[in-house]
């Protein structure tokens, strides 16, 4: 059985006191025990959030990390730094990192390899732009993102991989992929993993959907057989909405 996961990507939002308030609301909420819940705060709040969630079943992940061990990389944060805040999971390859901070497939595979070496689990994001979807190039595009990054990994490394399919045109726009569009891409990705590695591995990998997941659409999206959860941006900043989304399974 694949893990069901709902991760909240808080992006660059919330002061420490706003985060404390959100955490208090989440800690006081009920989540189904079979769903893994993850929150992804900013770098400066990783330690604070980890500490506060220690005796709960909510996990914490970082939104990014650098590939180098240490050194002259002003403004960056390493795998070891993340681990020293108690964090063992990171998002990598989010479309905002790719488009706004020029993170290429080559940079991303370096990051993923560092994470794997450090035993950090990776939520690896892929997804096409609107133009690719309109020109019906979306499958090819996502395939090339995978082939140039995590498909370069040996099979053993996949123990620590979660995939998030996030069509860029649906992120923060209020527009979502339809449940059928999400299912179609998730199945496509799973079949690619099966062809590249094997069916058992493909069956074991959680593939999350991201892009304007809200309480009113989560149920239909999560009901699809190849959708194993969500990577939620905007709606994860509101405890009530986030809790509703987790409970939509």
Max CA distance (Å), the chain: 48
Cα(91)–Cα(98) distance, integer angstroms: 12
Nearest to 10 by CA among 40, 30, 31, 32: 40
The active-site residue out of 96, 103, 128, 166 is 166
Nearest to 111 by CA among 74, 143, 76: 76
138 labelled catalytic: no
Binding residue for ligand PGA (CB under 6 A) from 41, 127, 229, 233?
233
Number of residues interacting with ligand PGA: please give it, by CB under 6 A: 13
96 labelled catalytic: no
Cβ at position 235, least distance to ligand PGA in Å: 6
Contact flag: residue 89 with ligand PGA (CB under 6 A): no
Cα(70)–Cα(118) distance, integer angstroms: 13
Contact flag: residue 212 with ligand PGA (CB under 6 A): yes
Taking contact as CB under 6 A, which single stretch among the options 15-23, 73-81, 155-163, 211-219 is the one that binds ligand PGA? 211-219
Q: Give residue number: closest CB to ligand PGA.
A: 233
93 versus 211: smaller Cβ distance to ligand PGA: 211
Task: Write the CB contacts of 86 (distance below 8 Å, at least 6 apart in sequence).
Answer: 46, 47, 50, 51, 54, 60
202 versus 228: smaller Cβ distance to ligand PGA: 228
Binding residue for ligand PGA (CB under 6 A) from 211, 221, 222, 241?
211
Taking contact as CB under 6 A, which single stretch among the options 61-69, 198-206, 209-217, 219-227 is the one that binds ligand PGA? 209-217
| Residue 40 CB burial class (10 angstroms; 0-12, 13-18, ≥19) | buried
The HSE-up count of residue 26 (CA atoms within 13 Å, CB side) is 28
Task: Write the CB contacts of 138 (distance below 8 Å, at least 6 apart in sequence).
Answer: 128, 132, 167, 185
Contact flag: residue 241 with ligand PGA (CB under 6 A): no
C-alpha dihedral (10, 110, 48, 159), degrees to nearest 10: 90
Contact flag: residue 234 with ligand PGA (CB under 6 A): yes
Contact flag: residue 93 with ligand PGA (CB under 6 A): no
Contact 53, 22 (CB under 8 A): no
Cβ at position 208, least distance to ligand PGA in Å: 9
The active-site residue out of 66, 94, 138, 186 is 94
Site for ligand PGA in 149-178 (CB under 6 A): 166, 171-172
Residues that bind ligand PGA (CB under 6 A): 9, 166, 171-172, 210-213, 231-235
Q: Please give the positions annotated as active site.
A: 94, 166
């Amino acid at each position: 059985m694949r893990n069901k996961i709902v991760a909240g990507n808080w992006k660059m939002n919330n002061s420490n006191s706003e985060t404390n308030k959100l955490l208090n609301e989440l800690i006081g909420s009920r989540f189904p025990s079979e769903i893994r819940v993850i929150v992804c705060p900013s770098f400066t709040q990783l330690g604070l959030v980890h500490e506060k969630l220690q005796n709960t079943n909510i996990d914490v992940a970082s939104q990014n990390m650098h590939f180098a061990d240490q050194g002259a990389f002003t403004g960056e944060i390493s795998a070891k730094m993340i681990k020293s805040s108690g964090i063992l999971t990171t998002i990598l390859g989010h479309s905002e990192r790719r488009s706004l901070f020029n993170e290429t497939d080559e940079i991303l595979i370096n990051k993923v390899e560092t994470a794997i070496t450090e035993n950090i689990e990776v939520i690896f994001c892929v997804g096409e732009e609107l133009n690719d979807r309109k020109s019906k190039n979306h499958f090819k595009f996502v395939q090339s993102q995978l082939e140039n990054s995590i498909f370069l990994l040996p099979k053993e490394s996949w123990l620590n991989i979660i995939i998030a399919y996030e069509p860029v045109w649906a992120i923060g726009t209020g527009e979502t992929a339809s449940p059928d569009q999400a299912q179609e891409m998730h199945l496509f990705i799973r079949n690619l993993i099966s062809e590249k590695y094997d069916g058992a591995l493909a069956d074991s990998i959680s593939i999350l959907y991201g892009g304007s997941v809200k309480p009113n659409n989560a149920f239909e999206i999560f009901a699809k057989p190849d959708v194993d959860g969500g990577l939620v941006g905007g709606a994860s900043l509101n405890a009530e909405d986030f809790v509703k989304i987790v409970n939509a399974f």
